Amino acid sequence: MASSTALGPSVARADQSEPDAAASERRPRRRSRWRRSGSEAPAPAMADLAAVVDEPVDIAPNDPVIAYFAGAPHAVELDSLTLDSPAVDRMREAGVVLVVPLVTNGELVGLLQLGPRLSERGYSKDDRQLLESLARYAAPALRLGQLVRQQEVEARERERIDQELKVAQLIQQQFLPENLPDLPTWHVAAFYRPARTVGGDFYDFITMPDGRVMIVVGDVTDKGVPAALVMASTHALLRETGSRLSSPSEVLSRVNDLLCADIPAHMFVTCLVLVIDARTGTVQFANAGHNLPYVRATDGTVRELRATGMPLGLMPGLRYDEETATVAPGEQVLLYSDGLTEQHDGDGEMFGFGRTRDVVGRARSAAELADLCVSELARFTGPGVEQEDDITMVALERSEGAGYGDAADDAVELARFSVRSEAGNEREAVRRLEAALEDVPLTDDQRSRLSTAVAETAMNGIEHGNGLDARLLVDVVVRRTATSVEVLVSDAGGAAPGTRTEEPDLELKLAGLQTPRGWGLFLIDHMVDAVEHEVDGSRHTVRLRLDLEESA
């Protein structure tokens, strides 16, 4: 018998056919010729030498006999082996008596396994030389067949993976908005290009019940299929949470807690949530480790919408600051992923924030902003440089015609926030007021007077209206019309302060002829142009108005 065992990824057999009756009848004549010829006889055929078995003996990759045969230069009598090898035991049980290693380029690619000679005589020196010569020719051919088979398997596997990635790409595209939101007096543009067939970046627009729109831009660490799977999960959580909660900071906190339970180790998500009031231009935003958006003013200067926070998925219980800003008529906003800023050119230089900021400053429209970023990045990297990461951009532009109105109904809300009724929190109210007024044309004196009035009003609300109860909030709304700035400060006092019958007088107060209190209301009245008190149910609101004409 004779059989071959191929080692490696594929299996080949040299001769596994049973001899037919006619062949059996011819065997004595062939054996006789072989015996007569001796060492000088013509080379005998394989069927003259050995019987054939149906199945070769499979050898485990860790069987010690593989290393032995790899180093064996000649045919090996199986009875001479003393190895503790399961494969050798099975070969003996199968009747194998002689093994010829098939080696090519120093690599063992198979074994020629032979049973007893049909002549019932042992293998002679000539027999071995014939078999070893045969092995030298057979080994390269067998290896070539193995490689062809391996390439066929690999090609089928690549085809299967490519097909699955195309399906994954189609599924992921369903997560991206099919249409851009139709915002009155706003233009919106978006760009998305994954580094591979699928990516970890995403963006979304969620229309809220009050008509505002929540814009989400995110980036999952890593790229390819693992990032795409985390992206799908995060996108679903943001869409579900964003439809129920209107606060960007609360959305991020909730999604972070949900994501922490399932996100794989060493992965996280950066994300920016921005809620835009298309009518007023007010934007509320919170940031989970994402790149800060850029705002291009009408004079070409660029500023950031600054808010910080830890990425999603790192640890539960995170809280995110929430900021408010106003996008003035004619201004543009760019939200983007780090695939833009962290792309390198052929020399290893990074595109960076500086170039991105410069591009934002040169753009004339939202549509041009995204296109200009793409073209400038391509010019920077040059041809033939691989895209390193997914690139996502959302560009917004508020139309020039969306100007400030004179009527109160046309007022633009610059900020809306709350502080807890704890001593000293009036300073936080002033800090956020000053941030909201950053782009309003006020003189330094006006800013100082308005800050003083708001500080006094907020302190009154904290101490008197809410009685220093930290569970209660003092709410602040900052608005602007074409001619004035209004600040509304409300508390849970439920009643307006009593009417003052006399002006505070320092000499009289020092003489004990006037109460030492009362300076706060006096300051408020003299710091702004108008003060009004409103009571609506349980809320008491102080409306402070500062006219802009004086800033000219």
Mean pLDDT of 347-354: 93
Distances, alpha carbon 453 to alpha carbons 108, 462, 463, 531, 543, in Å: 90, 14, 15, 10, 11
pLDDT score recorded for residue 500: 52
CA–CA separation, 135 and 69 (whole Å): 13
Percent of the chain residues past pLDDT 70, beyond the cut: 82
- In sequence order, what are the residues at sequence separation of 6 or more whose Cβ sits closer than 8 angstroms to the Cβ of residue 45? 30
- What contacts 24+ positions apart, CB below 8 Å, involve 402-407? 402/185, 402/186, 402/281, 402/329, 403/329, 403/482, 404/329, 404/480, 404/481, 404/482, 405/481, 405/482, 406/481, 406/482, 406/483, 407/481
Band (39; pLDDT cuts 50, 70, 90)? very low
CA–CA separation, 214 and 535 (whole Å): 32
- 206 token code pair: 């969620």
Band (470; pLDDT cuts 50, 70, 90)? confident
pLDDT score recorded for residue 166: 79
- Inform me whether the pLDDT recorded for 311 exceeds 90: yes
Q: Is 529 exposed, middle or buried (0-12, 13-18, 19+ CB in 10 A)?
A: middle
CA–CA separation, 393 and 373 (whole Å): 9
Question: Which pTM was predicted?
Answer: 0.55
**Closest-CA residue to 330 (of 302, 354, 296, 359):** 296
Percent of the chain residues past pLDDT 90, beyond the cut: 34
Query: How does pLDDT run across 146-183, given as a tens digit for each residue?
Result: 999 999 999 999 888 888 777 777 777 777 888 888 88
- Inform me whether the pLDDT recorded for 285 exceeds 90: yes
CA–CA separation, 544 and 527 (whole Å): 9
Query: How does pLDDT run across 97-117, given as a tens digit for each residue?
Result: 999 999 998 889 999 988 888
Residue with tokens 């591009």: 359
pLDDT score recorded for residue 163: 81
CA–CA separation, 248 and 285 (whole Å): 6
- Inform me whether the pLDDT recorded for 437 exceeds 80: yes
pLDDT score recorded for residue 309: 93
The DSSP symbol for 354 reads: H
Band (25; pLDDT cuts 50, 70, 90)? very low
- Residue 494 gets the label, from left (phi > 0), alpha (psi -120 to 50) or beta, of left
CA–CA separation, 110 and 365 (whole Å): 69
